[in-house]
Structure 1
Amino acid sequence: MTDHAHAPRRAIVTAGDSGIGRATAVALAAAGMEVAITWHSDQAGAEQTAEEARTHGARAITAQLDVADIPACGDVIDSLVGELGGLDVFVNNAGTGSSTPFLDLSLDDWRHVLDTDLTGAFVCLQRAARAMVAAGNGGRLIAVTSVHAHQPMVGSSAYDAAKHGLSGLMKNLALELGSAGISAVSVAPGEIATPMTGQTDADPHAQDRPGIPLGRPGDAREVAALIAFLASPPAAYISGASVVIDGGMLQMGPQAGAAIESHEWRTT
């Protein structure tokens, strides 16, 4: 077995054009890394992320990536590794979801969510891992999953299944790649104030969330700070874990269940 705790220098962050991805790319740049930022449809957003990363003195590049374009999505990762000259940290942040009851969910919608959140993630993680193993310097694989990798939500059967699968995949990677000095960790956010939750530019501290113990959504920069720590040398021994960052939301099961006074939750 090998032990690699050297300072990481090169990172890829998928879906770095907004939200958690943008905050993560900037946080890694602030930590001294060159960053490659991918975007699906918002090229301008990715360029804004790159500009912010460069204010920290970091090199930043961008590329278009559709993780549901399988297996071509892996070729984009290979290309970015080549452009960076190697890879130390890969953050699988790209994802999508649906809000459709299980009985109404179409096979096409199911496949799109699974392709984006799980199969495309597999392809990209595999390409990143192969590059790390070939280089022999270890590395960090970090997947942004969700609290719904731990607990389900009505209307999110495809998303829940995909995130459970991705979390399980990361545990397997920790087993198989540890001897190469590669750690694999999931980061499971709760409600975070980002465009994905309909809270573009919202101040999370100004939002009231009675159902979350801390009483507010999270800030994307809080998630990014966790990811930056997990990518750092002091976190070298963390692998196979799913680190939840949700303001205590997952602890609310019995408490919330006892407080519900109608059956509306079954169809919302």
Structure 2
Amino acid sequence: MSVPPAPHRRVALVTGADSGIGRATAVRLAEAGLDVGITWHTDRDGAEETAAEVRAHGRRAETAPMDLGRLPAAAEVVDDLAERLGRIDVLVNNAGTGTMTPFLDLDHDTVRHVLDVDLVGPFLCGQKAARHMIRQGGGGRIVNITSVHEHQPRVGAAPYCAAKGGLGLLTQVMALELAEHGITVNAVAPGEIATPMTGQEDTDPHTERRPGIPLGRPGDAREVAAVVAFLAGPDASYVTGASWSVDGGMLRMGPQAGSHLPGDDWRRP
């Protein structure tokens, strides 16, 4: 009687995993049994700290620098990490940037940089990862980290909102086109999450008051990572083309209100 081959160890690549949501996601995927490729832009030490946490769970970790402001070459890091780790089963497009500049004051270089990092970079990384998944066979998972601003605008964030809105619709097109290969593609849309990007590094979100968010606080990066891990795992095998908000109810209020309301009067009719 023949013995079936042992299942391969699954591999994830998480961009921008040197801190915040990216780090929490890399660690959560390691807990789920995946080896993890970690990219970083400026914080190499942070990436190595993430890698150490992954290895502490008995999983392999590889790191690589990636500057999505330098396209298309930056996307080649996907090929490099896939080769070093042997394959790629999950891509999490997490790396991102933004600006808080009034629309009339924006210059072309700033707009182009935000669109490259937040939209064109995930596009090119998604292409490369999908090609690996198709060659391997067996399908795969792509999760694009967007934002509540995939769905709602914010004053001062025109290129960021344009990029995240575009990434949300790109997610849907990818889901349609890659379904025949067994690859699911979903978006995760965080609200205010206590991370370095929001100026809340090492903050316990449960101690911060946000009257304009129905749950009354910012989110924890691990709460976003848990949703990503679900979408990357076997229980989400019939989920594709969807956007999963992780925002404490912010979208029900509108992000502008959610982050600016000073009190709880809105709770009463």
**Corresponding residue number in structure 1 for 2:174:** 173
**Corresponding residue number in structure 2 for 1:3:** none
Which residues in structure 2 correspond to 1:146-157 (within 5 Å)?
146-157=147-158
CA distance, structure 1, for counterparts of residue 94 and residue 17 of structure 2: 8
CA distance, structure 1, for counterparts of residue 138 and residue 87 of structure 2: 10
Quote the offset at 1:255 in angstroms: 11
**Corresponding residue number in structure 1 for 2:106:** 105
> Where does structure 1 lack aligned partners over 5 or more consecutive residues?
1-5, 262-268
CA distance, structure 1, for counterparts of residue 40 and residue 87 of structure 2: 20
Change (3 A) 1:254 1:138: closer
Which residues in structure 2 correspond to 1:23-34 (within 5 Å)?
23-34=24-35
> Which TM-score applies when normalising by structure 1?
0.92
Secondary structure of the structure 1 residue equivalent to 2:166: helix
Secondary structure of the structure 2 residue equivalent to 1:68: coil
Secondary structure of the structure 2 residue equivalent to 1:95: coil
**Corresponding residue number in structure 2 for 1:186:** 187
CA RMSD of aligned residues (A): 1.8
Task: State whether residues 218 and 247 of structure 1, in contact with CA within 8 Å, keep that contact through their aligned partners in structure 2.
Answer: yes
> Where does structure 2 lack aligned partners over 5 or more consecutive residues?
1-6, 263-269
Task: State whether residues 211 and 261 of structure 2, in contact with CA within 8 Å, keep that contact through their aligned partners in structure 1.
Answer: no
**Corresponding residue number in structure 2 for 1:226:** 227
Which residues in structure 2 correspond to 1:183-222 (within 5 Å)?
183-222=184-223
Task: State whether residues 138 and 181 of structure 1, in contact with CA within 8 Å, keep that contact through their aligned partners in structure 2.
Answer: yes
**Corresponding residue number in structure 2 for 1:265:** none
Identity %: 62
**Corresponding residue number in structure 2 for 1:114:** 115
CA distance, structure 2, for counterparts of residue 8 and residue 234 of structure 1: 17
Quote the offset at 1:75 in angstroms: 1.1
Task: State whether residues 8 and 231 of structure 1, in contact with CA within 8 Å, keep that contact through their aligned partners in structure 2.
Answer: no
CA distance, structure 1, for counterparts of residue 123 and residue 53 of structure 2: 29
CA distance, structure 2, for counterparts of residue 99 and residue 242 of structure 1: 24
Larger RCO, structure (CA 8 Å, separation 6 or more)? 1
**Corresponding residue number in structure 2 for 1:35:** 36
CA distance, structure 2, for counterparts of residue 254 and residue 187 of structure 1: 16
Change (3 A) 1:91 1:256: closer
Task: State whether residues 154 and 255 of structure 2, in contact with CA within 8 Å, keep that contact through their aligned partners in structure 1.
Answer: no
Please tell me the residue identity of whatever aligns with 2:70. Answer: D
Secondary structure of the structure 1 residue equivalent to 2:130: helix
**Corresponding residue number in structure 1 for 2:128:** 127
- What per-residue deviation string (whole Å, max 9, x for no partner) do you get for residues 162-191 of structure 1? 000111111001000000000000000000
Q: Does 1:53 align with 2:47?
A: no
Q: Which consecutive segments of 4 or more residues in structure 1 shift more than 4 A?
A: 254-257
Quote the offset at 1:256 in angstroms: 4.4
> Which TM-score applies when normalising by structure 2?
0.92
CA distance, structure 2, for counterparts of residue 146 and residue 231 of structure 1: 18
CA distance, structure 1, for counterparts of residue 35 and residue 250 of structure 2: 34
**Corresponding residue number in structure 2 for 1:264:** none
Change (3 A) 1:42 1:181: same
Quote the offset at 1:7 in angstroms: 8.4
Please tell me the residue identity of whatever aligns with 1:200. Answer: E
Task: State whether residues 152 and 255 of structure 2, in contact with CA within 8 Å, keep that contact through their aligned partners in structure 1.
Answer: no
